[in-house]
Amino acid sequence: MITYEGRRLGELAAAGRWPELLGLFRRMRGTSPRAAGPVGHLIAYGAPPEVAARLFDGDAGPGTAAGEHDCDAGPLWEVLAARHSWRRLAPLLEPAPVRRLAVHTRALLGDDPAGCAEADPEGVPLVLQPWEEAGWEASCRVREYLPRGGARRALLALPATREDLGPLDLPSSGNEVHGQDATRLLAGLAPWLQAVCVRGTAPDAAARLAPGRSAFAGHLPFAAAYPALVQAASGLPALGSAHGRLAVWRLLTAMTGARRPAPAEVDALVGRLRCLTWADPRDELWHLHLALEDPATGLAWAVTGSTEP
Residue % of the chain over a pLDDT of 70: 99
Give residue 106's pLDDT: 97
Q: How confident is the model at residue 299 (pLDDT cuts 50, 70, 90)?
A: very high
Give residue 3's pLDDT: 59
Answer for the pair 91, 54: CB distance below 8 angstroms, yes or no: no
Q: Please, what is the Cα angle at 139 between 136 and 145, to 5 degrees?
A: 135
List, as one string, the DSSP characters of 171-201: -SPPEE----HHHHHHHTT-TT-EEEEEES-
Indicate the SS3 state at residue 141.
coil
Model pLDDT for residues 182-192, shown as the tens digit of each residue: 999 999 999 99
Q: Where are the alpha helices (DSSP H) in the chain?
A: 4-14, 18-31, 33-46, 49-52, 76-83, 86-89, 96-108, 130-134, 181-187, 202-209, 222-232, 241-256, 263-272
Task: Specify the pTM.
Answer: 0.95
Give residue 151's pLDDT: 97
Instruction: Summarize the confidence of residues 258-268 as an average pLDDT.
Output: 96
Lowest-pLDDT choice from 149-163, 249-263, 287-301: 149-163
List, as one string, the DSSP characters of 34-75: HHHHHHHHHHHHHS-HHHHGGGG--TT-TT-S--TT-BSSSB
**For the stretch 172-204, what's the b/e string if a residue is b when 16 or more beta carbons lie within 10 angstroms of its beta carbon?**
ebbeebeebebbebbbebbebbebbbbebbbbb
pLDDT over 50 at 1, yes or no: no
With 0-12 / 13-18 / 19 or more C-beta atoms within 10 angstroms meaning exposed / middle / buried, residue 139 is: exposed
Q: How confident is the model at residue 91 (pLDDT cuts 50, 70, 90)?
A: very high
DSSP assignment, residue 158? B
Give residue 309's pLDDT: 75
Lowest-pLDDT choice from 177-191, 244-258, 278-292: 278-292
Give residue 219's pLDDT: 97
Give residue 136's pLDDT: 95
The Cα–Cα gap between 167 and 218 comes to 8
Mean pLDDT across the chain = 94
Task: For residue 59, give every residue at least 6 positions away whose Cβ sits within 8 Å of its Cβ, in sequence order, or none.
Answer: none
Answer for the pair 19, 58: CB distance below 8 angstroms, yes or no: no
Instruction: Summarize the confidence of residues 144-148 as an average pLDDT.
Output: 96
Identity (one letter) of the amino acid at 130? Answer: P
pLDDT over 80 at 5, yes or no: no
Answer for the pair 86, 52: CB distance below 8 angstroms, yes or no: no
Residue % of the chain over a pLDDT of 90: 85
Give residue 4's pLDDT: 53
Rounded to 10 deg, the angle between the 33-46 and 18-31 helix axes is 160
Identity (one letter) of the amino acid at 131? Answer: W
